[in-house]
């Protein structure tokens, strides 16, 4: 985790320097220890873990939506292919596009001649 509540290392350094200037060297140590204890306890608490879980879910949401859209597209492609295979395997004789092509019967070959190709 490279940030804490959206605050990175540069921001933390600026805040520490500002606190040192405002509080002075004597009081800075005491405030830092108190703040560290409070922050450590907060990070070990259950609500912090829940907040992190929710933050991770929100961060991963766009990727999950893209994966779901890709799966839906693949599913519709599979359904379309399956329907085409079904139509090819079981043609509907009443529909001219799906009925097998039958042409006129070829005349029988004369004796001694090879059959027509």
In the chain, what is the straight-line distance between the N-terminal and C-terminal CA atoms, in Å? 75
The whole model's pTM is what? Answer: 0.38
Specify the DSSP class assigned to residue 4.
Answer: B
Whether residue 113 has pLDDT greater than 80: no
Beta strands in 20-102 (DSSP E): none
Q: What is the pLDDT of residue 37?
A: 93
Predicted confidence (pLDDT) per residue in 1-12, tens digit: 455 567 778 888
Q: Which two structure tokens, joined as six digits, stand for 52? A: 């992190």
Q: Which two structure tokens, joined as six digits, stand for 47? A: 């609500």
- Cα angle, residue 18 at apex, residues 17 and 21 outer, rounded to 5°: 85
Pair 65, 71: CB distance under 8 Å: no
Pair 23, 31: CB distance under 8 Å: yes
Q: How do the domains of the chain map onto residue ranges?
A: 7-44, 46-90
Predicted confidence (pLDDT) per residue in 38-97, tens digit: 988 888 888 888 988 998 899 999 898 899 989 999 999 999 999 999 988 887 767 655
Beta strands in 7-74 (DSSP E): none
Quick one: pLDDT band at residue 110, thresholds 50, 70, 90? low
């Amino acid at each position: 985790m490279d940030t804490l509540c959206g605050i990175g290392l540069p921001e933390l350094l600026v805040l520490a320097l500002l606190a040192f200037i405002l509080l002075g060297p004597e009081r800075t140590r005491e405030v830092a220890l108190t703040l560290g204890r409070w922050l450590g306890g907060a990070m070990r608490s259950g609500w912090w873990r829940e907040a992190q879980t929710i933050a991770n879910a929100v961060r991963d949401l766009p990727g999950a939506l893209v994966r779901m859209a890709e799966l839906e597209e693949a599913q519709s492609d599979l359904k379309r292919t399956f329907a085409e295979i079904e139509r090819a395997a079981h043609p509907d004789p009443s529909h001219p596009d799906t009925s097998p092509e039958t042409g006129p019967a070829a005349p029988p070959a004369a004796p001694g001649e090879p059959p027509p190709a």
